[in-house]
Amino acid sequence: MKAGSRLLGDLAAMSPAYFGVVMATGILSLTADALAMPRLARALFVVNCAMYVVTGLLYVLRMIRFPQRFFGDMVDHLRGPGFFTAVAASSILGSQFLILAGSERAALGLWFVAIVLWVGLTYTIFTAFTVKEQKPALDQGISGGWLLAVVATQSIAVLGALLANHLAQPYRLELNFLALSMWLWGGMLYIWMMSLIFYRYTFFRFSPGDLTPPYWINMGAMAISTLAGSLLIVNAPDAPYLSSLLPFLKGFTVFYWATGTWWIPMLVILALWRHVYKRFPLKYDPLYWGAVFPLGMYAASTHWMAAAMEFDFLHGLPPIFLYAALIAWTAAFVGLARDLWRRLGAAWASRGGTGR
């Protein structure tokens, strides 16, 4: 019984952001395919399908077994935005099915799942944050994890733009319009949230413990916005309204890429300050998948933007960031495996202690 109780306790405390593992694995797979590494891309695709199913089952089991903890997390200022990883994971896996498996049906199904989750989570989480009577102060209630809402929004735009290339008219026009709308809304949402996050960083006391791994989403949100904008530029010949917006699309796509690029040295400096200067312990946390994803997304977005806008001088960057993302993914995966082994070992030891 003790072993079961321990495992149930782990399930009850499961991070809402655990779909970040699917996001990170999926974007590495797609980037590897774009950079002519088909075997790696397909291997990661198979792994990601398994990760998506297992993580989804654990989410459902947690919701059924611990509904108070599950829905309590959803309206918590720090943990609630982690649920948006489910939206982005569904969209990214859908993109994998479309590009790597050529399955429009699976991609459409996952796209609809992502849209339903996005609508439900957006209006549940932000309505709850608005009407709650007891709210944390800004420095205690906001983090880079809030930008997962931007990533989720832009992931729908990305898959919608990809699907538009595979479906006939008039669906192509409609999908591109929806992708454009989501891209614009995601950009506005980033401006709102980043203003608050930057204000929190610069005007409130900052400790190493405050610098949680999702702060890398500061860059990742801009990277996926760049990717969505690049795909819309590529789709412009099939949608007259996109053609008329091309100067705007190109300008803002470069704007997003430049903003994301600015964040990279800053994030590296903050990481060194946290772990080297302040000697904050580096140990596995499921939130670290939120640091792997931006590296892979930056590689993908730079590749697609360079192709869409003929920026040949940028083609050297994607491989560098892909390899960096693969190293980070491997480290996070080893950490995950060790964490699971430790938890299962502890559960088994407690079971043996009961004499059963």
pLDDT above 50: residue 355: no
pLDDT tens-digit map of 111-165: 999 999 999 999 999 999 999 988 999 888 888 889 999 999 999 999 999 999 8
Residue 68: per-residue pLDDT:
93
Measured distance CA(215)–CA(204) in Å, rounded: 16
pLDDT tens-digit map of 313-325: 999 999 999 999 9
Cis peptide before 318 (omega within 30 of 0): no
pLDDT tens-digit map of 193-238: 999 999 998 898 888 777 776 788 999 999 999 999 999 999 999 8
Residue 356: per-residue pLDDT:
44
* 3-state class (DSSP) for residue 285: coil
Closest C-alpha among 271, 264, 249 to residue 297: 264
Mean pLDDT of 180-199: 95
Residue 2: per-residue pLDDT:
59
pLDDT tens-digit map of 272-304: 888 888 888 877 777 788 889 999 999 999 999
Measured distance CA(100)–CA(109) in Å, rounded: 16
DSSP 9-27: HHHHT--TTTTHHHHHHHH
Q: Which position has the token pair 């992708």?
A: 179
Residues 6+ apart with CB under 8 A from 282: 275
Which of the 8 DSSP states describes residue 218?
A: H
pLDDT above 80: residue 18: yes
Least confident of 193-197, 206-210, 328-332, 344-348: 344-348
pLDDT grade for 347, boundaries at 50, 70 and 90: low
CA distances from 265 to 10, 25, 151, 216, 272 (A): 36, 23, 21, 11, 11
Measured distance CA(180)–CA(190) in Å, rounded: 15
CA distances from 322 to 213, 231, 281, 302 (A): 19, 19, 26, 11
